[in-house]
Amino acid sequence: MSEFKGKTLVLSGGTRGIGKAIITKFAQFGANIAFTYNNNEEEAKAIVSDFETNYRIKARCYKLDILEPETYKGVFEEIDKEFSCVDYFISNAIISGRPVVGGFAPFMRLKPKGLNNIYTATVLAFVIGSQEAAKRMEKNGGGAIVAISSTGNQTYIENYAGHGTSKAALEIMVKYAAYELGAKNIRVNVISGGPIDTDALRKFPNYEEIKASAIARTPLGRMGQAGDLAGGALFLCSKDSYWINGQTLIADGGSSFS
Ligand SMILES: NC(=O)c1ccc[n+]([C@@H]2O[C@H](COP(=O)([O-])OP(=O)(O)OC[C@H]3O[C@@H](n4cnc5c(N)ncnc54)[C@H](OP(=O)(O)O)[C@@H]3O)[C@@H](O)[C@H]2O)c1
């Protein structure tokens, strides 16, 4: 029997891209799913119905704005009404569009508001979401937390300074969380991807250029797809990764060495 059967995953940003692929993987392995959406309520409800019908697990969706991280508390209170425990938490959601203006830009056009928004959505949302998850995991004897990062904090990506620096901060925050939550039997890790073909990347003005370069630089000869981080995320929540804590697992088809 799958170790995930009957366990509960909470994930932010499950309506599209990498988050949707991760919750689908966990649902296939029998986990119950509580996930958040921001704008796409209709899609979120369709996913709930699809999961409950096809995977026979419990699924629920909740509205969340990661630019208001404190609102995570209310979301977890709602989750408490439907799920008896939280076993895994994955901080995945990312902002795009207007809120990243001045944050997604060349260095000389960076502005505090856009940079702060990206930091809030990336680091502060991880902190508050993980605190709420950890309180529940502790009562349950432990759990696993995973943050989604990107290799744009290690290699140059045009306009990516705001995201790259926030992802770097996120990865250090994960190490602090891992150190302090270890005593509660809660492990905290990162899975980091290279460029992945999702809505977030398609909004980049130089999307076609990034795509061509990613294919050329990846030894496996293709662009990353939304599902390419799901297996790694599942592994970092599984018992098989019991001795991995405070680490970053890179899943990029080998492109970061090129
Ligand atoms: N794409 C890449 O190249 C890549 C590579 C490595 C790592 N990553 C990381 O992977 C994660 C997911 O990225 P993605 O490419 O899958 O993104 P995406 O396709 O743009 O999906 C973003 C998700 O976040 C939600 N969201 C957007 N604004 C929000 C807000 N203000 N508050 C709460 N939720 C919000 C969206 O919900 P709605 O649909 O309801 O708006 C959606 O579910 C991010 O952490 C990203 O940095 C991406």
- Which residue from 193, 70, 81, 185 is spatially nearest to 134, judged by alpha carbons? 185
pLDDT mean across residues, the chain: 97
Query: Domain for residue 99, yes or no?
Result: yes
Looking at residue 1, what is its pLDDT?
A: 59
Domain that holds residue 65: 8-250
Q: Determine the average pLDDT of the residues in 90-103.
A: 97
Query: Domain for residue 1, yes or no?
Result: no
pLDDT for 22 beyond 80: yes
Query: Domain for residue 258, yes or no?
Result: no
Query: Domain for residue 257, yes or no?
Result: no
Looking at residue 258, what is its pLDDT?
A: 84
Query: Domain for residue 33, yes or no?
Result: yes
The residue from 119, 139, 167, 203 that is catalytic is 167
Distance CA 122, CA 127 (A): 9
Query: Domain for residue 122, yes or no?
Result: yes
Out of 10, 38, 117, 173, give the residue to mutate to test ligand 1, the one with the largest number of ligand atoms within 8 Å of its CB: 38
Query: Domain for residue 255, yes or no?
Result: no
For 93, left (φ over 0), alpha (ψ -120 to 50), or beta?
A: beta
Q: Is 160 a catalytic residue?
A: yes
Lowest mean pLDDT among 113-122, 152-161, 170-179: 152-161
Contact 66, 93 (CB under 8 A): yes
**Which CATH number belongs to the domain containing residue 89 in this structure?**
3.40.50.720
Q: Is 88 a catalytic residue?
A: no
Query: Domain for residue 174, yes or no?
Result: yes
Contact 57, 32 (CB under 8 A): yes
pLDDT tens-digit map of 32-87: 999 999 999 999 999 999 999 999 999 999 999 999 999 999 999 999 999 999 99
Number of domains within the chain = 1
CA of 200 to the centre of ligand 1 (A): 6
Out of 94, 191, 203, 218, give the residue to mutate to test ligand 1, the one with the largest number of ligand atoms within 8 Å of its CB: 94
Looking at residue 124, what is its pLDDT?
A: 99
pLDDT tens-digit map of 194-244: 999 999 889 888 899 989 999 999 999 999 999 999 999 999 999 999 999
